[in-house]
Structure 1
Amino acid sequence: MKSSVRAWALACLLTVATPALLAQQALPGDYIVAVVNSEPITFQELNIEVRRVSQQLTQQGQAAPAPEELRRLVLERMINDKAQLQLAREQGIRMDATAIDRAEQNVASQNGVDVLALRQKLAKDGVTVQSFRDGLRDQLTLSRLHEREVESSIKVSDVDVDRVIQEQQANNTDPFAQELNLAQILIVVPEKANGEEAAALFVKAQRVLQRARDGEDFNKLVQEFSAADRNNGGQIGLRRGDRLPPSFVTATQNLKVGEVSEVVRTGAGFHILKLVERKAPTRLVQTVVQTRARHILLRNSPQLSQAQAIARLADARQQIVSGKTDFASMARKMSQDSSAEQGGDLGWASPGMFVPEFEEAMNRLQDEGAISPPVVSRFGVHLIQLVDKRRVELSPQQIRESVRAQLRQSRYEEAYTAWARDVRARAFVEMREAPQ
């Protein structure tokens, strides 16, 4: 986990329901509570931020610290942020309008609205567009500074990677990495079977399962009932978990050798599985789920607003779902992406290949052929259809890079805390009391 202080600051980007980034105008009776390298923090600014953080914690269901402790923590974070922003300016880190536009677009997308609606919501909460964009600029600047100063300082050696790989291999309990030998009894469900016929076959499978659990010879039951290969007692043979149907692995992952699973339903019918053998992996194996999807992209332009694009894609989705057309045909007809000629097909994609807002919406689709509602990203508005998912094995080099990334992440908080403490120590900070 990264520093809670940094995460707290970045959370500002997603908070639009509270007066988070009000214009900082002195009110009667306002006064300075701290000075950071000649830049002041006022009592009013601190109060606004304390209220914002308190409301945010309430919305997240977290208990807030005692009022005085909360004020102390918020003030310390504001001092740290101000000192770090000053350092960023000294190093020439600047955020251009395009980066801020993208950040504003992302916040709108996270809240399910377009930028215009976001600004209207902010205005109702007393937040000006300029102060909100200034807040986005500051948070983006801090992120860039942290990348340069903290992330670049974290070193992970090949020895560190080798040690973790050895530990992970010794403790690997991932059922998809283990080698399994399963014996099965398959009771076929005909493709055109109706609900009543399928239910009768399920009852039959349950009876066979009970006989197996009562101690009847599994091989005998295979010969009597199974429509699959009956040789060698219906054994599939020793295979790694990721090369078996996922439902088989899930159904047997908690079984001991010799035990029998619950009835498993697949497209072929009902399966009863017996765990014959389980072997730990002989080398570290990591797998990822790849996704194949189609999409339709409409780009924002003076001729097509975001709201209009959302409406057009919502209509397209309705036509596809109702069966009036198919996704590929609609993509060829209206998508403004280079994938349009391929019916919007994006090919197989590993995690992290798409921008987060697109990938999150794609990952929420579970069933083959499922279609998302319109999704806003920095590129425009998308309609996404899930084509298929598969689990693939990472190469040895990919595993090493994955472990290296895990180590860098695990060391981030300590590195950030030490760096932030150093920046704070080098800053001139004067704390001031309330005027009498």
Structure 2
Amino acid sequence: MRSKVLAVLASTTAAALIAGGAFAQDNPLTSANPLGLPENVTVFGSRMPDVIKATAIVNGEVITQTDINQRLAFLLIASDAQPSAEELERLRQQVFSNLIDETLQIQAAKSAEIEITEAEIDRTVERVAANVKQTPDQMAEYLKARGASIRTVRRQIHGEIAWRRIQGQKIESRSSVGEDEVKAVLERLEASKGSQQYRVGEIYIPATAATMDQARANAAQIIDGIRQGGSFVAYARQFSQASTAAVGGDLGWVRPEQLPEPIAAVMRQMAPGQISAPIPVPGGISIIAVQDVRKVLTADPRDAVLTMKQVSIKFPAGTSRQVAEPVVARFAQASRSIGGCGGAEKLAADFKAEVVEADNVKLRELPPVLQQMITAMQIGQATQPIGSLEDGVRVLVLCGRDVADPTMPTYDQIFAQLNEERVNLRARRYLRDLRRDAVIDFR
């Protein structure tokens, strides 16, 4: 990018000088003025950036302070956090460490002759932008205005793709799970029917004995950020060194005995929605978040798949509560006697509302307040009105409910889970070896 800017500046300046025509005549070359520079200099284009010193050189590749600043800004945008000056410095050090690891991962892929094309990165950028309802160009401008850049996003995507490919080539291909191991897990599952199972997210920060205190402080900072409203998924993607970082730290549904005992002991004491304190584990620190709890191989009404209709009314901008509340009260009263799913259209017509139908709605994925409300409803009933004057007020009409019958996971599912755990462990060791063998010059 820097070379392109210089080229544009050079061509622009040259064109202006040619158009001026008098430069060479009025400013002859002399020993005092060997370049023939004019006394009154006109500057074209944008100011050149200050020289940016390298913060580290990793196997010959430079990581600058700008790289760190832009990645840190991107993290703060993603997590919507406002840390203190002290907390910001801790985050900066963690970002620096992550950039070093990311550089090593990209270099390892290159050494293994794994090619990652710009087109692949472009497609991922387009998906990321679409998730926030922007085009890549709009997202680039948004990031630039907040101190980040599309370049740091592209580099992170490059690193994630590189690491996945490296795992596929060097780790997954050498991982083997035996038939006896899978059968043993299936037997334990059968024996544990009715026991607690947890949907868990994890952030893993590696540490040695010498760096454990720093890792613990970094973990505490991450926990504070999440508890203040930051996204666990965003923090996991940025800071976790587990292979699950690419999916926001999601471990899926697990039982305590499937995890290291320090984590299992903490998890058994947690309720859905809670995040743990830093947990010392072999090789580092883990943070876990319990998203949900269920019983193994036991029917749960929240596993139901629903068919629903949503009836929503909207108010013009500036509508006062005094005007809107009587309408909402009549809407609530009418929804109580909606007369089944077929009555949604009449309710919508009476209130000039909009009807949207939805199939395959997973009850467990709805907000907790709606889960409780809908679990107690009969087919054909409507929820109480929900929403706001600004976003619209709506009711959900329950049109159908299919309750899933819990079954034992298949052989292939167990095999995939065991293989993932093994790959995760080997990936951590491989990254550790990359760090150990790297030539890193800190500046």
Q: State whether TM-score is above 0.5.
A: no
Q: TM-score, normalised by structure 1?
A: 0.41
| Structure with bigger RCO (C-alpha 8 Å, 6+ apart) | 1
